[in-house]
Amino acid sequence: MDTIQLLLDGFASAASPENLLMAAIGALVGTFVGVLPGLGPTSAIAILLPLTGVLAPTQGIIMLAGIYYGAMYGGSTTAILLNIPGELSSVPTCLDGYPLAKKGRGGPALGICAIASFAAGVLGVIGLVFFAPVLADQALKFGPPEYFALMLLALTLMVSLSGGSLIKSFLMGAFGYALALVGLGPSSGMPRFDYGVSQLVGGFDMISIIIGLFAVTEVLKGIEEKRAATAITRPGSVYPQKTDLKKSAAPMLRGGLVGFFLGLLPGCSAAITAFLAYDLEKKVSRHPEKFGQGAIEGVAAPEAANNATSSAGFIPLFSLGIPSSPPLAILLAGLMIYGLTPGPVLFEQHAPFVWTVIASMFVGNAMLLVLNLPLVWVWVKLTRVPYGIMAPIILLFCTIGAYSVRNSMFDVAVAFLFGGLGYLCHKYKWPVVPLVLCFILGPLLEESFIQTMAMGSGHIGIIWERPISLAILVAAAALLVVSILLNRRTNQRVREERARGMDVA
Amino acid sequence: MKVDKKWTTVMLSFLMAISVSACGAKDAPPAAKQAPAAPAQTVSEPAAKGGPDYPTKQIELVVPFAAGGGVDLVARATADYLSKEWGQPIVVVNKAGGGGAVGAEYALKQAKSDGYTALAVNVSNTTMLTAGMTNPPVKNEDQIYTSRIGKGTLAFAVKADAPWKDFAEFSQWVKAHPEELTWTSVGPAGFSAFGVAQWLDVIGADFSKTRMIVTKGAADSVPKVAGGHAVLAVHTVGEIMPMLQAGKVRILAVAGEERSPFLPDVPTAEEMGVKGLTVFWWTGVSFAKGTPDYVIAKWQDAIAKMEKDPAFAKKLSDIQVEPDYADSTAFTRDVGQETDAYTELATKKNMRK
């Protein structure tokens, strides 16, 4: 196969000292930026894009891809050690990662996280090699009705995700959706619910809400608990034990597959697949009640999923020029700046470039493993800093992160407002995950609904006349029934668990 | 609640941190910027036309659209050139949302009009915004149109295996079956909407019977046509190029009077007997009202020089944008005329909101 030959050539050039250096710098800088709350891959790439402009195209893109992977990993690190997701896709990692860290098993959790990221990244790269031309065609078959059905499916999952009271999670979901309505309507272009406040015309930003609900809330909780220092005294070895690896192998594979195949669909972000993978793991587990209390599977699956998704996203990006997520849109800008318009032509005209970048992703993933496992102690050290010093630093980063979204103090205010709200939710046991999920999916749901109605001349019937969307709808309905049944059965036990321990959601 | 020592320490240190980071956020408007320390060595040219030295610090170029789109790429290439030219960093900041209104409002109304905040403008967030809304958030009067940089030709794209052999046949089909035409748009009053409205007006088809499918932009819209979920996409040549090269869509015609240099084989609508399709995409730079004249002069001259730079020309052609320089006077005049024409079209087609 000539793709193999091309890939090998790609490896040869990716392994050149300067390209290795670029991948290493990218991975390190990315991890560092990812560790800062709120500075996710998108802002990291956006900030560093001008800096890579001085490099040759191949090196520039290699570095950017490294930053992208690094930031994803950095986000997981803070998610586990501090319960602060650096970006949305690390939220599910918090759910079990942080309890693990509190038990003093932060080290192994980080290790599993790195291994899962690496394994899924590798899976993604292999997929990229074999399926790029084939899968790109499938992505086009998904029209608005299919997306609408897909969103319904994702929202159905939300119900089962929160585990607690169904009513509460529905209400929080509805609240999240209401928040998403603020701003310019996706179809009409008319401002909605802005009350004449100019900042509200732009709507609430996801990142500032996330920073608020997760990071600021965490600081408030910490102040309340009068933490002397974060409870982690012994992170343990970062090299996981055999049992951890054995437990995580299947979740990694499942999460990786979920993340990869859904990641091929434009618009299916790493956050969505990470949530799905977490939920799937909870569903198939024989001990669903252990989730949220520090189950290593709950770290392995979403981490594998979000990395597989980031890799899979390169397929529609390279083969069709469709960026499936914000960071990839910025990478697309990077490619265009170098005069490399993505599309099948890119594979033909710039084959060496494409395959070098693909090979360097592989290298970049390996770098993360090699660099980050030994470096984990640096991140762990961060958690030993007294809380009186740590809290303001976290808040400072939250402020910078929220500010950097749109360079406006409005987003900072939103972050702090939601920090207070998240704290209250935590106090009174209202789940915040449905809020976040509905806030993200709400606009997509609305947009695909309006597009579907336009396609069907105002008749919704088009949704069950198309095989793909019908299949997704049936799956969603089945899932809802199963969720409700399972929910009833486990609710009692979950309540008992909740009474005893604390939880994130 | 007992206020203990630790809590006070936390709050105090936080307050200190925040006051350092947000440079006195309490009395500063959201647009307050602290300029990073200027590089030690700045190549400052003699003051142009008797004005003070400019620029002496970092300039922010606000792009009111997402990264990776046409406006963004041209703005980045411009920032790249000018920062080398002036020896001062020009930072591109994306503030997307509201069809370009959010970023425009920030740059024109919230930021200081001292020449250190520029706005990347295009047809969608200026003339079409004004035409499509009875009360637009930003108006032509709010800004000084400084220079137009480049333009893009609109192309009419359908699925690769669509039944129509050419644009003339397609136009006839649409005239006969307007209710079957679904077209993707980049917003209710963006350039695709005006392009379609003008075309249907010219051929005498019923615009109100066609169905607009609003999308987020070209990356979202062209695949919908390629996948057969909508009949027609009207975008700039550059935005359709990847899908065209992939053989997923066909371009039936381009608007304007001349063929696109990037698609020499594609006929113009004019050649197909559909005359008067004048809607085109352009991008440029503007400043808030009240910005000093020497700033405008300096930008204008530098951009005029930039258009002659072969490296910049290559960057434009890589993204299928044609150079189309206009100085402040010509640019302002063109914008005024375009606004009137589009307002008339929008009123006629009942597009004003």
| Residue B306 pLDDT grade (very low, low, confident, very high; cuts 50, 70, 90) | very high
Mutate one of B8, B222, B245 to test the A interface: name it (highest A CB count within 10 A). Answer: B245
Mutate one of B27, B102, B210 to test the A interface: name it (highest A CB count within 10 A). Answer: B102
**Same domain, residue pair B88 and B169:** no
Say what the pLDDT of residue B323 is: 94
Say what the pLDDT of residue A281 is: 87
pLDDT, average across residues A266-286: 78
Is residue B67 predicted with pLDDT exceeding 80?
Answer: no
Q: Is the residue at B8 inside a domain?
A: no
| Tokens coding B334 | 């063109």
What is the nearest CA distance from A392 to chain B, expressed in angstroms? 4
With beta carbons less than 8 A apart as the criterion, state whether A95 and A504 touch. yes
pLDDT, average across residues A291-296: 82
Say what the pLDDT of residue B16 is: 45
B237 in contact with chain A, both atoms CB, cutoff 8 A? no
pLDDT, average across residues A17-41: 77
pLDDT, average across residues B256-284: 92
| Residue B29 pLDDT grade (very low, low, confident, very high; cuts 50, 70, 90) | very low
Say what the pLDDT of residue A505 is: 38
Which of B272, B32, B34, B53 shows the shortest CA–CA distance to B165?
Answer: B272
- Report the alpha-carbon distance of residue B120 to residue B72 in Å, rounded: 8
| Tokens coding A433 | 């995950």
Residues of B in Cβ contact (< 8 Å) with A391 = 10, 14
Tally of structural domains, chain B: 2
| Residue A379 pLDDT grade (very low, low, confident, very high; cuts 50, 70, 90) | low
* A4 CB-near residues (< 8 Å, 6+ apart): A129
Is B14 within 8 Å of A391 when comparing Cβ atoms? yes
pLDDT, average across residues B295-305: 95
Say what the pLDDT of residue B161 is: 93
Per DSSP, A214 falls in state I
Of residues B131 and B29, more confidence is placed in B131
A337 in contact with chain B, both atoms CB, cutoff 8 A? yes
| Tokens coding B166 | 């050419």
Q: What is the CATH number of the domain that holds B62?
A: 3.40.190.150
- Minimal-distance CA residue of chain B relative to A219: B10
pLDDT, average across residues A359-384: 74
Mutate one of A451, A466, A468 to test the B interface: name it (highest B CB count within 10 A). Answer: A451
Q: What is the pTM of this model?
A: 0.69
Residue of A326, A409, A455 with shortest CB distance to B229: A455
**SS3 call for B214:** strand
**Same domain, residue pair B252 and B168:** yes
Which tens digits make up the pLDDT trace of A426-454? Answer: 888 888 877 877 887 787 788 889 889 88
Number of Cα atoms under 13 Å in the Cβ half of residue A41: 31
Q: Is the residue at B178 inside a domain?
A: yes
Say what the pLDDT of residue B115 is: 92
The winner for highest mean pLDDT among A49-63, A236-250, B327-341 is B327-341
Which of A271, A319, A338, A252 shows the shortest CA–CA distance to A60?
Answer: A338
| Tokens coding B325 | 């320089």
B239, B272, B305 — which closes off a domain?
Answer: B272
Say what the pLDDT of residue B267 is: 95
Residues of B in Cβ contact (< 8 Å) with A344 = 245-247
A451 in contact with chain B, both atoms CB, cutoff 8 A? yes
Q: Following DSSP, what letter does each residue of A368-415 receive, concatenated?
A: HHHHHHHHHHHHHHHTTSBHHHHHHHHHHHHHHHHHHHHT-HHHHHHH
- Report the alpha-carbon distance of residue A381 to residue A370 in Å, rounded: 19
Residue B332 vs residues A374, B84, B327, B346: alpha-carbon distances, Å? 60, 27, 8, 21
**SS3 call for A491:** helix
Which tens digits make up the pLDDT trace of B51-66? Answer: 789 999 889 999 887 7
Of residues A263 and A324, more confidence is placed in A263
With beta carbons less than 8 A apart as the criterion, state whether B92 and B75 touch. yes
pLDDT, average across residues B121-150: 89
Q: How many residues does chain B have?
A: 353
Residue B325 vs residues A286, A357, B113, B333: alpha-carbon distances, Å? 67, 36, 24, 13
pLDDT, average across residues A195-207: 76
- Minimal-distance CA residue of chain A relative to B10: A388
B116 in contact with chain A, both atoms CB, cutoff 8 A? no
* B327 CB-near residues (< 8 Å, 6+ apart): B147, B300, B304
pLDDT, average across residues B142-164: 94
Residues of A in Cβ contact (< 8 Å) with B14 = 391-392, 395-396
Residue A169 amino acid letter: S
Q: Is the residue at B13 inside a domain?
A: no
Q: What are phi and psi of A461, to 5 degrees?
A: -50, -25
* Cα Rg of chain B (Å, integer): 23
| Tokens coding A16 | 């050149």
Residues of B in Cβ contact (< 8 Å) with A332 = 67-68, 219
Report how many helices (DSSP H) and strands (DSSP E) chain B contains, helices first: 11, 11
Angle between helices B191-203 and B328-348 (to 10 degrees): 60
What is the nearest CA distance from A388 to chain B, expressed in angstroms? 5
B48 in contact with chain A, both atoms CB, cutoff 8 A? no
| Residue A134 pLDDT grade (very low, low, confident, very high; cuts 50, 70, 90) | low
Q: Is the residue at B135 inside a domain?
A: yes
**Same domain, residue pair B145 and B225:** no
Q: Give B79's strand partners.
A: none
Is B223 within 8 Å of A266 when comparing Cβ atoms? yes
Say what the pLDDT of residue B26 is: 34
- Minimal-distance CA residue of chain A relative to B137: A198
Q: Is the residue at B290 inside a domain?
A: yes
pLDDT, average across residues B2-11: 48
Residue of B137, B211, B243 with shortest CB distance to A454: B211
Residue of A187, A342, A410 with shortest CB distance to B214: A187
Of residues A478 and A190, more confidence is placed in A478
B125 in contact with chain A, both atoms CB, cutoff 8 A? no
Number of Cα atoms under 13 Å in the Cβ half of residue A217: 24
Residues of the domain holding B316: 55-152+280-348
Say what the pLDDT of residue A368 is: 80
Tally C-beta pairs within 8 A across A and B.
186
Is residue A395 predicted with pLDDT exceeding 60?
Answer: yes
**Same domain, residue pair B329 and B340:** yes
Residue of B7, B68, B93 with shortest CB distance to A407: B93
| Tokens coding A37 | 């709350």
Whether omega before B55 lies within 30 degrees of 0, making that bond cis, reads: yes
Angle between helices A270-284 and A91-102 (to 10 degrees): 60
| Residue A399 pLDDT grade (very low, low, confident, very high; cuts 50, 70, 90) | confident
Is residue A468 predicted with pLDDT exceeding 60?
Answer: yes
Say what the pLDDT of residue B297 is: 94
| Tokens coding B22 | 């947000």
* A86 CB-near residues (< 8 Å, 6+ apart): A34, A35, A36, A37, A38, A39, A40, A71, A74, A75, A76, A77, A78, A79
Range 245-284 of A in CB contact (< 8 A) with B: 266
B208, B237, B272 — which closes off a domain?
Answer: B272
**SS3 call for B90:** strand
Which of B202, B139, B145 shows the shortest CA–CA distance to B343?
Answer: B139
**Same domain, residue pair B86 and B124:** yes
Say what the pLDDT of residue A51 is: 62
Mutate one of A221, A406, A449 to test the B interface: name it (highest B CB count within 10 A). Answer: A406
The winner for highest mean pLDDT among A26-40, B28-42, B318-332 is B318-332
- Residue carrying the six token digits 């792009």: B63
B230 in contact with chain A, both atoms CB, cutoff 8 A? yes
Residue A349 vs residues A255, A400, B316: alpha-carbon distances, Å? 34, 41, 19
Residue A203 amino acid letter: G
With beta carbons less than 8 A apart as the criterion, state whether B170 and B196 touch. no
Which tens digits make up the pLDDT trace of A66-100? Answer: 888 888 787 788 778 777 766 667 788 888 888 88
**Same domain, residue pair B245 and B290:** no
A135 in contact with chain B, both atoms CB, cutoff 8 A? no
What is the nearest CA distance from B335 to chain A, expressed in angstroms? 22
Is A454 within 8 Å of B182 when comparing Cβ atoms? yes
Which tens digits make up the pLDDT trace of B70-128? Answer: 888 899 899 989 999 999 889 888 777 667 777 888 899 878 889 999 999 999 888 99
Residue of B10, B105, B223 with shortest CB distance to A388: B10
Angle between helices A166-181 and A144-162 (to 10 degrees): 140
**Same domain, residue pair B87 and B163:** no
**Same domain, residue pair B65 and B125:** yes
- Minimal-distance CA residue of chain A relative to B84: A54
Say what the pLDDT of residue B266 is: 95
Burial class (CB in 10 A: 0-12, 13-18, 19+), B139: middle
**Same domain, residue pair B141 and B237:** no
Alpha-carbon torsion angle B34, B284, B70, A453, nearest 10: 100
What is the nearest CA distance from A408 to chain B, expressed in angstroms? 5
What is the nearest CA distance from A42 to chain B, expressed in angstroms? 10
- Report the alpha-carbon distance of residue A342 to residue A319 in Å, rounded: 6
Is residue B130 predicted with pLDDT exceeding 70?
Answer: yes
- First CA to last CA across chain B, in angstroms? 52
- Report the alpha-carbon distance of residue A69 to residue A311 in Å, rounded: 9
B242, B272, B302 — which closes off a domain?
Answer: B272
Q: Is the residue at B124 inside a domain?
A: yes
A392 in contact with chain B, both atoms CB, cutoff 8 A? yes
**Same domain, residue pair B86 and B142:** yes
Q: What is the CATH number of the domain that holds B216?
A: 3.40.190.10
Residues of B in Cβ contact (< 8 Å) with A319 = 246
B214 in contact with chain A, both atoms CB, cutoff 8 A? yes
- First CA to last CA across chain A, in angstroms? 48
**Of the listed ranges A379-388, B3-12, B210-219, B329-338, the one predicted with least confidence:** B3-12
- Report the alpha-carbon distance of residue A243 to residue A122 in Å, rounded: 23
* A411 CB-near residues (< 8 Å, 6+ apart): A205, A207, A208, A402, A403, A405
- Report the alpha-carbon distance of residue B29 to residue B27 in Å, rounded: 7
Q: B63: part of which helix (H) or strand (E)?
A: strand B59-63
Helices marked H in A194-325 — which ranges?
Answer: 198-201, 206-210, 217-225, 242-263, 270-284, 297-312, 314-320
Q: Is the residue at B110 inside a domain?
A: yes
The winner for highest mean pLDDT among A122-136, B14-28, B90-104 is B90-104
B142 in contact with chain A, both atoms CB, cutoff 8 A? no
**Same domain, residue pair B86 and B228:** no
Q: Is the residue at B25 inside a domain?
A: no
Say what the pLDDT of residue B39 is: 37
The winner for highest mean pLDDT among A189-193, B251-255, B272-276 is B251-255
**Same domain, residue pair B168 and B264:** yes
Q: What are phi and psi of A15, to 5 degrees?
A: -85, 0
**Of the listed ranges A311-325, A489-503, B104-118, the one predicted with least confidence:** A489-503
Q: Share the mean pLDDT of chain B.
A: 83
A467 in contact with chain B, both atoms CB, cutoff 8 A? no
pLDDT, average across residues B196-201: 94
Say what the pLDDT of residue B143 is: 94
Residue A451 vs residues A137, A148, B33, B220, B221: alpha-carbon distances, Å? 21, 9, 40, 12, 11
Is B212 within 8 Å of A337 when comparing Cβ atoms? no
Is B219 within 8 Å of A323 when comparing Cβ atoms? yes
Is B14 within 8 Å of A187 when comparing Cβ atoms? no
Say what the pLDDT of residue A138 is: 65
Say what the pLDDT of residue B48 is: 45
- Report the alpha-carbon distance of residue A90 to residue A504 in Å, rounded: 13
- Minimal-distance CA residue of chain B relative to A146: B229
Helices marked H in chain B — which ranges?
Answer: 5-21, 70-86, 101-105, 127-132, 167-176, 191-203, 218-226, 237-245, 293-306, 310-318, 328-348
- Report the alpha-carbon distance of residue B26 to residue B79 in Å, rounded: 31
Q: Quick one: what percent of chain A has pLDDT higher than 90?
A: 3
Is A337 within 8 Å of B213 when comparing Cβ atoms? no
A395 in contact with chain B, both atoms CB, cutoff 8 A? yes
pLDDT, average across residues A286-294: 79
For A254-276, the three-class secondary structure string (H helix, E strand, C coil) is HHHHHHHHHHCCCCCCHHHHHHH
Residue B86 vs residues A209, A373, B59, B90, B293: alpha-carbon distances, Å? 39, 44, 11, 9, 18
Q: What are phi and psi of A89, to 5 degrees?
A: -70, -10
B350 in contact with chain A, both atoms CB, cutoff 8 A? no
Is B22 within 8 Å of A191 when comparing Cβ atoms? no
Residues of A in Cβ contact (< 8 Å) with B110 = 198
